Amino acid sequence: MRPIQVAAAVINQLPLDWDGNQRRIAAAIASARERGVGLLLLPEMCIPGYGCEDAFHSIAVLHQSARVLGELLPLTRGLVVTFGLPVLHHNGLFNAVALVADGRILGLVAKRFLAGDGIHYEPRWFKPWQEGVVAEIDWEGNRLPIGDLLFEVGGVRIGFEICEDAWVANRPGAGLARAGADLILNPSASHFAFAKRQVRRNFVIEGSRAFGVSYVYANLLGNEAGRIIYDGGALIASGGKLVAEGPRLGLGDWHLTAAVIDVEATRMQQARTGSFRPVLEDRAIVRAAFDWPGVGKIEPAPLPAWESGPYVKEEEFTRAVTLGLWDHLRKSRSKGWVVSLSGGCDSAAVTILCTLALVRAVQELGMRGVRAALAHIPGVGELPDNDDGSGLTTRLLTTVYQGSRNSSATTREAARAVAAAAGSHHLEFDIAPLVYSYTRMVETAIGRTLDWNRDDLALQNIQARVRGPGVWMLANLEDKLLLTTSNRSEAAVGYATMDGDTCGGLAPIAGIDKAFLRHWLDWLQRIGADGLGAVPALAVVTSQRSTPELRPTAAKQVSEEDLMPFAVLDLIERLAIRDKLPPAAIAWRLVQDLPDTTPEQAATWVRRFTTLFARNQWKRERLAPAFHLDDENLDPKTWCRFPILSGGFVRELAELDSGTAARVRG
């Protein structure tokens, strides 16, 4: 046997926060030392932060990254540690990782496969390193090897797959295994998306089996730069078996996952594999002496129950958005949140998510940790240690119901009930005089009376827009962040009033569809998140049909009647945007997939969606930043780019009208 103790740290970093990033890395290294770890893997770009974007092209960022690495070197005495940072070589910028042993940089490995799809734009900043190429770089006056390297440290061979390297068919790990690698390390910045955890587990476990190695995976954690949420979830596998797995979506600054792996066991696994063909000529290997510390027994910590429960997506949504809200609050140094609480499901969801974020913070960090994280907010330091989050919520969360002449007693009482359940500081505004004033002003100017038959859209929108200035003013007075409550289904078809219900600096639920959101609220009302409990008061919301309450009450306005059933809208969105199907094919799919749907009804829904989607790209461009929650969303900044001006699918819709019904019947 040749056991060594390895660890992966997930860290919540902030782009360009040099002191903070260095402090968190130092804390993770200190914890590894205390636990007797021999090798510590840190996440991709852990020094500058992964989300620096075009700041990567600043020479100052490169200099500061190198400077921080130099300042961290003394902390690695007696350890092997990896550090992610950008490196300039031959005027090309590379996404690199430095392997450090006992206080000395042994070399730099550059990423071979760059992530350039979906939310990722790595080719905008970095160049891919070529397979098999090794060069030298001048680093702080020393010559260091850089490139496609294999390291031999204290007799243990170590190679790298950097994030995307492991997601491609031609994984570098195969070549590393043939060269005799014992350990493959994967420093990653892999964004959260629903159901993505299993994909990562698969490539880590299968990589360790197919390559006959031990495989260590470390990820970033938290809402690093504003939109993308990283879920952590460190993984350690050996010889095809998962030996350690870290928790996901936690609110702490970092978390360490450790395990003991046996180098000789994986070597013999390779030897027993009939298809294994070693490379008998040594490739570029960087060798260094190192005395691996002794190891003790490690008892792996169990994962939270929700990870293996029946409601993983609901739990993931709860934890991802609350993590995003918490990180945004503390990193932006806002003094809380303001929500225009209408009494409907969207604003109720945002309100309750804010409360759950604060309750989670108290549970996971304790009030001392909360006070330290929110030291910039007056009064938080006065809260007692035994506060369960209720005092914190009342101080940080303000909700306001803004009623017009078309608002009902039902939504007013629902808003009050949700606010009470959330523990927010709740206010009510009467916007009817403002709506009347604007309406009369315009009527006087144009010389006629506005009426609902002729001026329906304008009369609806003025009510939504009038709600904007007052709630913005309240947010300014309290120095809090105004949250918009628009959801993804509304964004798809522009069912929102710009400068009205879209007002806000952050859109927490703009990445989730309405159908799932209603399902989640029902689940939260009846069952609730693990450790957080149910919110029975949400029954006042889940029992209603969705309505914007912008037409007179006698009209009994219902959102799904204005548009289409939300489940249908969401299905069309995925077929059109994710799968890129033309309107006629979408209509055919609707008839196949939805019972009792006629070709004529399907064509009507598809025409409505397609027309509204093309017409309202400008609205999606103007929505507040949203959290990225799955890999099929509409955010033009992270996933779905579409022209503001387009032909509007005129020919495609003509083909739909002329042929869909006949083809479906045939």
Domain 560-666 sits in CATH at: 1.10.10.1140
Measured in degrees and rounded to the nearest 5, phi and psi for residue 556 equal 50, 55
Mark out the alpha helices in 7-109 (DSSP H runs): 18-34, 59-72
What is the distance between the alpha carbons of residues 474 and 468, in angstroms, rounded to a whole number? 10
Give 363-371 contacts, CB < 8 A, sequence gap 24+.
363/389, 363/531, 364/250, 364/251, 364/252, 365/251, 365/252
Number of H helices, E strands in the chain: 21, 21
| Domain layout of the chain by residue ranges | 3-303, 306-551, 560-666
DSSP state of 47: T
Is pLDDT above 50 for 146? yes
Per-residue pLDDT band for 278 (boundaries 50, 70, 90) equals confident
CB 371 within 8 A of CB 343: no
What is the distance between the alpha carbons of residues 300 and 256, in angstroms, rounded to a whole number? 11
pLDDT for res 663: 52
Return the bridge partners of 481, or none.
337
What is the distance between the alpha carbons of residues 343 and 444, in angstroms, rounded to a whole number? 34
pLDDT for res 277: 80
Q: On the CB side of 196, how many CA atoms lie within 13 Å of its CA?
A: 22
Give residues with Cβ within 8 angstroms of 102, minimum separation 6: 76, 77, 78, 79, 80, 288, 290
Q: What is the DSSP string of 66-91?
A: HHHHHHHGGGGTT-EEEEEEEEEETT
Measured in degrees and rounded to the nearest 5, phi and psi for residue 465 equal -70, -35
Q: What percent of the chain has pLDDT over 90?
A: 83
Is pLDDT above 70 for 626? yes
Is pLDDT above 50 for 666? no
- Residue 195: how many other CB atoms lie within 10 Å: 11
Amino acid at 369: G
Element (H, E) at 265: helix 263-272
What is the distance between the alpha carbons of residues 577 and 579, in angstroms, rounded to a whole number? 6
What is the distance between the alpha carbons of residues 493 and 431, in angstroms, rounded to a whole number? 27
The CATH architecture annotation of domain 3-303 reads 4-Layer Sandwich (3.60)
> pLDDT tens across 303-340, in order?
999 999 999 999 999 999 999 999 999 999 999 999 99
Give residues with Cβ within 8 angstroms of 190, minimum separation 6: 163, 196, 200, 219, 220, 230
Domain 306-551 sits in CATH at: 3.40.50.620
What is the distance between the alpha carbons of residues 292 and 615, in angstroms, rounded to a whole number? 63
Residue 526 gets the label, from left (phi > 0), alpha (psi -120 to 50) or beta, of alpha
Q: What is the CA radius of gyration of the chain?
A: 28
Lowest mean pLDDT, pick from 52-61, 488-497, 520-529? 488-497
pLDDT for res 407: 87
What would the mean pLDDT of 516-540 be, rounded to a whole number? 96
Q: What is the DSSP string of 276-294?
A: -----S--SEEEE---PPP
Is pLDDT above 60 for 180? yes
pLDDT for res 665: 43
Q: What percent of the chain has pLDDT over 70?
A: 99
Per-residue pLDDT band for 575 (boundaries 50, 70, 90) equals very high
Kindly give the pairing relationship between strand 150-153 and strand 285-288: parallel
3-state SS, 343-405, equals CCHHHHHHHHHHHHHHHHHHHHHHHHHHHHHCCCCCCHHHCCCCCCCHHHHHHHEEEEEEECC
Per-residue pLDDT band for 659 (boundaries 50, 70, 90) equals low
> pLDDT tens across 211-270, in order?
999 999 999 999 999 999 999 999 999 999 999 999 999 999 999 999 999 999 998 888
What would the mean pLDDT of 435-449 be, rounded to a whole number? 96
Between residues 554 and 161, the one the model is more confident about: 161
Measured in degrees and rounded to the nearest 5, phi and psi for residue 126 equal -110, 160
Is pLDDT above 90 for 302? no
> pLDDT tens across 21-78, in order?
999 999 999 999 999 999 999 999 999 999 999 999 999 999 999 999 999 999 999 9
3-state SS, 533-592, equals ECCHHHHHHHCCCCCCCCCCHHHCCCHHHHCCCHHHHHHHHHHHHHCCCCHHHHHHHHHH
What would the mean pLDDT of 599-620 be, rounded to a whole number? 94
Q: Is 31 exposed, middle or buried (0-12, 13-18, 19+ CB in 10 A)?
A: middle
Lowest mean pLDDT, pick from 36-50, 133-147, 277-291, 319-333? 277-291
What would the mean pLDDT of 365-369 be, rounded to a whole number? 95
SS3 at position 511? coil
What would the mean pLDDT of 427-445 be, rounded to a whole number? 96
Q: Which residue has the tokens 């959260």?
A: 192
Measured in degrees and rounded to the nearest 5, phi and psi for residue 197 equal -55, -45
Is pLDDT above 90 for 1? no
Is pLDDT above 80 for 130? yes
Average pLDDT, the chain: 93
